[in-house]
Amino acid sequence: METQGTIGIENSLTADEIAAADIVLLAADVKVTGEERFAGKKVVKVATETAVKSPIS
């Protein structure tokens, strides 16, 4: 899981990890840096609160 916050990007996803993904889930409340890396992938965007409080949704 890649995180982006005030201290920067941590655990950055590799090109191989992205290529192997069926979908990309962006749980974020702000702009995600590098979204172009996910071109051609199904991208699902949700608020952070939704991902934490309702992960099954």
pLDDT band at residue 57 under the 50/70/90 scheme = confident
Q: Radius of gyration (Cα) for the chain, nearest Å?
A: 12
| 16-55 tens-digit pLDDT | 999 999 999 999 998 999 999 999 999 999 999 999 998 8
Stretch 7-23: mean pLDDT:
96
CATH number at residue 38: 3.40.50.2300
Looking at residue 26, its pLDDT comes to 96
State the Cα torsion 23-1-30-26 to the nearest 10°: 10
Looking at the predicted structure, is the pLDDT value of residue 1 above 80?
yes
pTM comes to: 0.81
Please tell me the total count of domains within the chain.
Answer: 1
Distance of CA 11 to the CA centre of its chain: 11
Instruction: Tell me the CA distances in angstroms from 29 to 14, 15, 16, one per residue in order.
Output: 23, 24, 26
Question: Could you list the residue range(s) of the whole structural domain that residue 26 is in?
Answer: 3-53
